[in-house]
Amino acid sequence: MEEIEDLCGNLHLIEEEEKLVACPMGNDEEILRKGDRSLVGKICVDRAVGKEIVVNTMGKIWRISKRASFLEVEKNVFIITFANHADRQRVLEGKPWLFENYLFILKAYEGGLQPDKLIFNVEYFWLQIYNLPLGLMTKKWGECIGQSVGQVLDVDVDEDDIGWGKYLRVRIKLDLHKPITRGRIIMVHGKKIRLAFKYEKLPRFCFNCGWILHGNSGCSSTTAPDNSINPQFGPWLRADDIFKRRTPNSYSNASSEGRMGGLTNNDPVAPVNDGEVSVGNIGIGQRWKDFRQGNFGFFDKSNGKMVAEEICMHA
């Protein structure tokens, strides 16, 4: 498409070719309905992938009620139309998706964009935060730490906003043209704590520069390609342990317009319902009693707020 635009830009048009063609901009209900059941996706791999291979592969992975229709509009870019809104929502809920371990970015259909003007530079991931003290495994702390990485869409905690476990899960919107964030340092009561990050369903990425997608100029790293002596990025950033605390029905911000707080109906996203159930809840009084026995002195919620603000400033 760029070659066509460049060619047209060098042409000297005659008067007839310069005439504007005016078409009525009516409200075509059929195309609007079809657009509401559609997504636009791109498989992030250099080689061209055949449409039929994509259709068969993703049909097995998605497990929706009826096979979706794929129409290729650019190299490895497809308009995907689903039989119903429920299938479309199910696929959105399961993002990110992988095709042969390459990222398959999905976004809402936008009828006003030309195919070659579609931009695929962000995707949603579940981030796992390790080495976080138990007293800080809360929704507030997840939002605070997650915002230093990308836009926070959700924090996987129980109804009392507490998410005890081996790690805290935060759903973020990740810029694919930046190195993957490997961790953060927080300050708690004057003590520095280094946090380690892992990402669920992390696709192939460059172990040299840490980018999931290279720009037009290729790898951005200035170091030697062989960093095996002191690797800065590697497969350890992929999460191999995934525990989902909640199902979509338990999300407090869920709605028919978009299941995640802060999202609009242009791109609703929520974790996939994999049948796992919430862990057993301890009474909130017992939780606060347990905190008082720890090192953080969480005698009430005001102390929790005070410490959280401290970490946000030092994160």
Write the pLDDT tens digit of every residue in 155-192: 999 999 999 999 999 999 999 999 999 999 999 999 99
> To which residue do tokens 């009828």 refer?
111
Same structural domain for residues 296 and 150? yes
Q: What pLDDT is stored for residue 58 in this prediction?
A: 97
Q: What pLDDT is stored for residue 260 in this prediction?
A: 35
Same structural domain for residues 80 and 176? no
Asked, for residue 259, whether it belongs to a domain, the answer is yes
Same structural domain for residues 110 and 147? no
Q: What pLDDT is stored for residue 222 in this prediction?
A: 60
Q: Is the pLDDT of residue 228 over 50?
A: yes
Domain boundary among 92, 117, 142: 117
Domain boundary among 72, 93, 117: 117
Q: What is the mean pLDDT of the chain?
A: 78
State what percent of residues in the chain have pLDDT above 70.
70
Helix 51-62 and helix 85-93: axis angle, to 10°?
Answer: 80
With beta carbons less than 8 A apart as the criterion, state whether 261 and 153 touch. Answer: yes
Q: What pLDDT is stored for residue 247 in this prediction?
A: 56
Residues forming a β-bridge with 125: 172
Same structural domain for residues 107 and 131? no
CB atoms within 10 A of CB 136: 24
Residue 108 structural domain: 30-117
Q: What pLDDT is stored for residue 82 in this prediction?
A: 97
- What is the arithmetic mean of pLDDT over 286-302? 35
Phi, psi (degrees; rounded to nearest 5) at 83: -65, -30
Same structural domain for residues 73 and 166? no
Q: What pLDDT is stored for residue 73 in this prediction?
A: 95
Q: Is the pLDDT of residue 303 over 80?
A: no
Asked, for residue 19, whether it belongs to a domain, the answer is no
Same structural domain for residues 44 and 135? no
Same structural domain for residues 74 and 210? no
State what percent of residues in the chain have pLDDT above 90.
57
Query: Residue 171 to residues 123, 126, 147, 200, 291: CA-CA distances in angstroms?
Result: 10, 4, 10, 10, 26
Q: What pLDDT is stored for residue 22 in this prediction?
A: 77
| Residue pLDDT, tens place only, 229-279 | 778 999 999 999 888 886 554 443 333 333 333 333 344 343 333 333 333
Asked, for residue 138, whether it belongs to a domain, the answer is yes
Residues forming a β-bridge with 218: 215
Please give the residue that has the higher pLDDT: either 85 or 1.
Answer: 85
Q: How far apart are CA 254 and CA 274, in angstroms?
A: 17
Same structural domain for residues 103 and 159? no
Q: What pLDDT is stored for residue 112 in this prediction?
A: 84
Same structural domain for residues 87 and 184? no
Q: Is the pLDDT of residue 293 over 90?
A: no
Same structural domain for residues 54 and 130? no
Q: What pLDDT is stored for residue 157 in this prediction?
A: 97
Q: In what order do the strands lie in the sheet with 191-199?
A: 151-155, 168-175, 122-130, 191-199, 183-188
Same structural domain for residues 162 and 292? yes
Q: What pLDDT is stored for residue 217 in this prediction?
A: 65
Q: What pLDDT is stored for residue 7 in this prediction?
A: 59
Structural domains of the chain, count: 2
Please give the residue that has the higher pLDDT: either 38 or 256.
Answer: 38
Asked, for residue 4, whether it belongs to a domain, the answer is no
With beta carbons less than 8 A apart as the criterion, state whether 68 and 87 touch. Answer: yes
Same structural domain for residues 256 and 305? yes
